[in-house]
Every structure is written in C-alpha cells, then in structure tokens.
C-alpha cells in the first residue's frame, strides 16, 4: 500500500523533532514515514485478533454455564454465533475454545512481526541521525569549532543521538498503544456504551493527574542531559591532561572534581528514576479503583455474567496498553532535551562568511597578496589581524616573524582558508582567492605544524594522508627529504609500523618529520612550515632545511619560526606586531632580522 504524506502531516503524526515540519530532524522522519501505516495496520490487526478472542469468551462462557448461547448478543458476535449454530451441540464448546486459541496465536505472530519491523526502523533512524551529525560536523566551518566546546559535540554524538533514537521506539509504542486502545474502545462501546462512557470519565481524570507529573519529569530530564555533558567534559579533561595532572600532583583534586560531577549525575538520574517509579504504582492504584467501580456499575445495570466478564477482560487487557502508553510518554519527556541538542547541532548554519568561490585554481603562477586584511576571532577580545597588507612572492621562501600572539597563526589560518577575512582580501595575482573553490585551493597548500595530527594507521598511511594513491617509492622519497626515512627504516615494521592515535609511540621530533613528509608528498604550490621543526635538534633542523631547499618539492614556502637558523634559509620576511605588519621585504633588509644578527640571537 502506498500513501502520500505531506511534510506537515508527517512530522505532526511522527513528531521525531521538537521544531515541527521544517526542523532539522524532519528529513529523517520523512524518509521512514511510509513505514508508519504498515506498523499501525499490524498494530490494529493484532488488537482486532485479541479483542476477537476476548469477544468469543461470551459464547464460550454461555455454553459452559448455561449450555446454550443466549439471544441479544452484540452484533459483532452474530457471524461467529451463526457459524457455531451450524455445528453439532457437543462440538460447540471445543470449537469456540479452539477459535480463541487460534486468534491468540495469530495475534502473537502479528505482534512479533511488528516488533521486528519497529526494531528495523529504529535502527535505521538511529544510524541516520548519527551519520547526519557526523556529516554536519565535517561540513561546518572552522570558526564553529573555535566557538563550541568539543566535549559538548562528542556528547551529542555519543549520548544524545542514542537518546534521540530512543524517542522513535517510544513514539512507535505510543502509536501502537493508541491503535490498540481504539480497537478495544470500539469493542467496549459495542458491548455496553453507557458503561464505556463511565470508563472514559475515569480515564480522563487519571490522565489529568498524570500530566502534572510529566512536567516535573521533563525538568529532571534536562538536568540529566546537563550533568551528562559535565561528566564527559571531566572525563576528557583527565584523559587529555593526565601528564599535566601527574606533573603538578593534582590527582586528588581532579578525582574529587570527577567524583562531584559523577555524584551530581547519579543524583539527577535517581530523581528521574524515582519520579518514574513512583508514578507507576500511583497509576496502577488509580486504575484498580476504576476497575472496581466498573464492576459495581455493571451489576447496577444488570449486565449478564458473560457480558460483564468480556467487558472486564477487555478492560483488563487494555491496562498493559495504557501502561505502555504512559511509560512511553514518561520516557519521552526526559529525552526531549537530547532531541533538542541533536536538533541544535543538525541545525547549525555554516559560517556567515563562507568560502563562496567555485573557480578552479589558476594554472599560471603568481605572488600571493594580503590587502588590508582584518580578522577577529568569534570569542576573541580584539582584532587578531588589523589591515594587514604584504606579499608572499612566488618562488621564494618567506619568513613570517613575530612574537607570541602577534597574529602569525591567524595568517596561516587565512592562507589555509580555515577562516575568511572580515575585511580586505587575499589575492593570487589579480584573482581574489575567495573566488577560487576552497577545496581546489587547499589541494595546492600544505602545512606542517608543531602539533602534528596523526591518524590511527601505519606510517605510510599517515604520510600519504593527502594523496592516498601515492606509491611507496614516492612516500619514501618524501620521507627522505623530511629526514624521516632513517628513523622509519629502523622501526621493526618500517613504513608499515602503526603509530596509534595521535602518534603516541613516536617522539615529538619524529612526529614532526612525518608531518613534513606528508606535506611534501602533495607537492604543494605553497608549503607552510608553522614551527614545523621546533621539536627536532638544531643539527637535524639544519639538515631538514637544507634538504627542503635542495629538493624544492614546493613552489613557494612560508616559514614561521622563532629560530634564526631556520629563518636564515629564507630570502624574504614579514614582521608582525600585535596584528599589524611592522615591516616586510628581503629578509636581510629587515630591521628585526638585522638586530637578531647584530645581537647574535639564536631565538627571539
């Protein structure tokens, strides 16, 4: 069966998100909306089979107690009674009992098939939410990560995405319970509509009392989400800063901080569990009172014993559905905060100053110009770069010189197109760099920095990260130029040695050399060395600089360093002071560099 659903309908009936039909979760909900009618139909079928089996209790009890089927039974039983009357009297009890068993086992099979279907859809939605989150994070611009705490993002993928997918299971549970309740209600009306009205009044009163507690649960759920986030943050702090904690003997302090946050989470979880647990007995108590009241009213109405029994059995079988409905509603309430977190991340827009250009990289070679470029970080206190204008001449090695906090990394970030200028622009010859596609631009710019990001793989895979198709010979050549080949060859598995996440099995200098080989392998037009050799000894650094200049696996280079021995390999220089260009031009003409030489300073 195919049913056409409009988007508004889909998210109203299938409210996966909290932000309505245009919310960020709506596309995922829409993908699976076609499963809903099948799940509802199977739910209805299971309830019909069950209520049919309960309805057959009336002829069965009448046959057992009175030996005959009375007149005036509800209309829905007429076909069954007609069929029974065609059988010999002695076989009727057995036939009804057999029919009841048949209906009960058919109901079981339909229910099991529906549970498998729901598990499938829940799994797919959960997977889709996680991949949508990963896709969103990968596509967001760099400034987003400067503004937001990494642990919050990890928590959304690791915890909130699961909790959001849990909502789907609970929503299905709500839908199936409601379908079943509808079928049961119709049966109850057909049996005795006046008594049914009495039941409805009782149920409405119970609902009103329960909704008061739902509001409280929602608040408690919010606290659980917040405390979960704080715990993840504390855990990451311990893992990332274990060296610092040991060196400064802060073990007890961090342990106490962890204990406190964990205890807070325990408390808020306990509060949710207590509230959920206390609501169930309260509900059962109210339902039992209603049950007894129905029995009394039925006897006042002089209902026959078989009819009263069938009515009460139907009511009794409704109870698990009502409980499931309540549990699902209670379960959804504390999960709303997680859904909101997932929606927040999925709904993140790209940076307002995106890399808009779609032009390919020009084939011809040009100088790179910064013209009046200014930039302030979203969380910064002032301009990191102010009206900066300078040139990185084509075919040269240019030193970028400045004290800590001067703005060198900001220039590097702009060159890598991780951030875009607020005012001013970068040019390649006459072409604004913002007009060139960011992907094409980055393929021609490679960076080797002081902190090298290594992936969990072999050394060869790490070096070839920017060019996975490179041959082993090319990888080895890049490693030789980066002065890494020798130490790699001495490792037990050579280029096939695994470095582990973040390269923990290697020294800082070894990691830097692998990073340098990775940058060289892509043969960039612009090679950026951002303190790329500060962890290697002076002698190795000179060897590396010599090899780099000899082999020239790049067209131009920008070298950020505090060491004179590194800077002197450059022909040009740019001096940055507090976000402004203090001087630029041939290196040896710079006052800053001349002073270093005059005072024979190795570092500044």
Ligand X SMILES: Nc1ncnc2c1ncn2[C@@H]1O[C@H](COP(=O)(O)OP(=O)(O)OP(=O)(O)O)[C@@H](O)[C@H]1O
Whole-number Å distance between alpha carbons of 520 and 396: 16
160 versus 530: smaller Cβ distance to ligand X: 530
Separation between Cα atoms, residue 265 and residue 284, nearest integer Å: 29
Q: Rank residues 406 and 438 by Cβ distance to ligand X and give the closer one.
A: 406
Give the shortest CB-413-to-ligand X separation in angstroms: 7
For the CA atoms of 420, 425, 429, 430, what is the dihedral angle to 10 degrees? 120
Question: Does residue number 76 form part of the binding site for ligand X (CB under 6 A)?
Answer: no
- At residue 89, what are phi and psi to the nearest 5 degrees? -55, -40
Nearer to ligand X, 179 or 533 (CB): 533
- Please state the closest distance from residue 428 (CB atom) to ligand X, in A: 22
3-class DSSP state of 27: helix
Over the Cα atoms of the chain, what is R_g?
36
Beta carbons of 229 and 151 less than 8 angstroms apart: yes
Residues 240-299 close enough to bind ligand X by CB under 6 A: none
Total chain residues near ligand X (CB under 6 A): 13
Q: Is 56 in the site for ligand X (CB under 6 A)?
A: no
Give the Cα separation of 10 and 27 in Å (integer).
Answer: 10
Closest separation in Å from C-beta 401 to ligand X:
10
Which lies closer to ligand X via its Cβ, residue 149 or residue 260? 149
Residue 59: which of 102, 29, 37, 89 has the closest Cα?
A: 89
- Closest to ligand X by CB, 503 vs 579, is 579
Q: Are 59 and 80 in contact (CB under 8 A)?
A: yes
Q: Least separation, in Å, of the C-beta of 477 and ligand X?
A: 31
Nearer to ligand X, 166 or 577 (CB): 577
Min separation Cβ 366 and ligand X, Å: 25
The least CB distance from residue 354 to ligand X, in Å, is 19
Nearer to ligand X, 314 or 445 (CB): 445
- The C-alpha torsion from 565 through 566 and 572 to 576, rounded to 10°, is -100
Phi-psi sector, 70: left (phi>0), alpha (psi -120 to 50), beta: beta
Instruction: Choose among 263, 270, 574, 278: nearest CA to 398.
Output: 574
Nearer to ligand X, 146 or 297 (CB): 146
The interface with ligand X within residues 365-424 (CB under 6 A) comprises 377, 379-380, 384, 402, 404-410
72 φ/ψ sector (left φ>0, alpha ψ -120 to 50, else beta): left
Q: What are the helix and strand counts (H, E) for the chain?
A: 21, 10
State in angstroms the smallest separation of the CB of 564 from ligand X. 16
Q: How far is the CB of 364 from ligand X (least distance, A)?
A: 30
User: For residue 573, how many C-alpha atoms fall within 13 Å in the half-sphere facing its CB?
Assistant: 23
Whole-number minimum distance, CB 381 to ligand X, in Å?
Answer: 7
Most distant CA atoms of the chain, gap in Å: 121
SS3 state of residue 463: helix
Q: Is 563 in the site for ligand X (CB under 6 A)?
A: no
Report if residue 532 touches ligand X, rule: CB under 6 A: no
561 near 386, Cβ under 8 Å?
no
Q: Does 71 bind ligand X (CB under 6 A)?
A: no
Q: Which is nearer to ligand X, 381 or 430 (CB)?
A: 381
Q: How far is the CB of 43 from ligand X (least distance, A)?
A: 52
Task: CB nearer to ligand X: give 395 or 405.
Answer: 405
In the region spanning residues 144 to 163, those forming contacts with ligand X, defined by CB under 6 A, are: 146
Choose between 5 and 604: whose C-beta lies nearer to ligand X: 604
* Termini Cα distance of the chain: 76
Using alpha carbons only, what angle is made at residue 417 by residues 415 and 421, rounded to the nearest 5 degrees? 85
- The minimum distance between CB 390 and ligand X, in angstroms, equals 14
CA angle 592, 377, 23 (to 5 degrees): 160
Match 């009936």 to its residue by tokens. 13
* Using rule CB under 6 A, residue 582 touches ligand X: no
List of residues contacting ligand X (CB under 6 A): 146, 377, 379-380, 384, 402, 404-410
């Amino acid at each position: 069966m195919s049913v056409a659903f409009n988007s508004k309908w889909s998210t109203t009936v299938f409210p996966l998100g909290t932000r309505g039909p245009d919310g960020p979760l709506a596309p995922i909900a829409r993908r699976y909306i076609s499963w809903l009618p099948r799940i509802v139909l199977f739910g209805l079928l299971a309830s019909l089979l069950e209520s049919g089996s309960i309805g057959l209790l009336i002829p069965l009890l009448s046959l057992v107690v009175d030996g005959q089927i009375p007149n005036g039974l509800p209309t829905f039983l007429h076909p069954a009674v007609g069929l029974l009357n065609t059988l010999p009297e002695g076989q009727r009890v057995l036939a009804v009992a057999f029919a009841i068993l048949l209906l009960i086992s058919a109901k079981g099979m339909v229910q099991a098939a529906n549970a498998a279907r729901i598990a499938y859809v829940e799994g797919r939605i959960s997977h889709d939410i996680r991949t949508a989150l990963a896709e969103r994070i990968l596509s967001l611009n760099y400034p987003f990560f400067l503004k937001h705490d990494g642990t919050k993002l990890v928590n959304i993928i690791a915890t909130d995405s699961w909790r959001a997918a849990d909502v789907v299971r609970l929503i299905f549970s709500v839908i199936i319970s409601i379908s079943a309740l509808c079928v049961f209600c119709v049966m109850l009306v057909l049996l005795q509509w006046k008594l049914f009205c009495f039941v409805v009044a009782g149920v409405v009163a119970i609902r009103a009392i329960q909704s008061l507690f739902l509001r409280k649960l929602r608040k408690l759920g919010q606290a659980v989400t917040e405390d979960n986030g704080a715990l993840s943050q504390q855990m990451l702090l311990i893992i990332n800063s274990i060296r610092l904690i040991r060196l400064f003997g802060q073990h007890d302090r961090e342990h106490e901080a962890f204990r406190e946050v964990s205890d807070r989470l325990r408390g808020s979880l306990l509060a949710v569990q207590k509230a959920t647990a206390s609501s169930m007995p309260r509900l059962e108590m109210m339902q039992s009172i209603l049950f007894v009241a129905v029995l009394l009213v039925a006897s006042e109405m002089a209902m026959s014993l078989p009819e009263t029994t069938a009515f009460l059995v139907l009511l009794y079988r409704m109870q698990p559905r009502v409980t499931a409905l309540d549990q699902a509603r209670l379960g959804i309430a504390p999960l709303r905060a997680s859904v909101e977190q997932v929606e927040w991340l999925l709904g993140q827009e790209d940076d307002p100053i995106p890399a808009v250009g779609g032009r390919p990289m020009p084939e011809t070679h040009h100088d790179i110009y910064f013209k009046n470029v200014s930039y302030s970080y979203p969380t910064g206190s002032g301009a990191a770069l102010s009206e900066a204008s300078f040139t990185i001449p084509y075919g040269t090695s240019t030193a970028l010189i400045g004290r800590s906090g001067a703005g060198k990394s900001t220039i590097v970030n702009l060159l890598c197109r991780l951030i875009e200028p607020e005012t001013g622009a970068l040019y390649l010859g006459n072409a604004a760099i913002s007009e060139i596609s960011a992907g094409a631009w980055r393929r021609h710019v490679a960076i080797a920095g002081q902190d090298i990001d290594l992936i969990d793989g072999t050394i060869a895979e790490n070096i070839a990260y920017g060019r996975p198709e490179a041959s082993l010979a090319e990888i080895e050549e890049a490693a030789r130029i980066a002065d890494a080949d020798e130490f790699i060859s001495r490792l037990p598995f050579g280029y096939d040695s695994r470095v582990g996440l973040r390269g923990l099995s290697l020294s800082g200098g070894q990691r830097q050399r692998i990073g340098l080989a990775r940058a060289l392998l892509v043969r960039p037009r612009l090679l950026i060395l951002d303190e790329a050799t500060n962890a290697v000894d002076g002698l190795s650094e000179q060897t590396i600089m010599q090899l780099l200049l000899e082999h020239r696996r790049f067209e131009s280079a920008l070298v950020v360093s505090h060491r004179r021995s590194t800077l002197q390999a450059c022909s040009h220089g740019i001096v940055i002071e507090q976000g402004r260009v203090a001087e630029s031009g041939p290196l040896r003409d710079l006052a800053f560099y001349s002073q270093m030489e005059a005072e024979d300073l190795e570092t500044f």
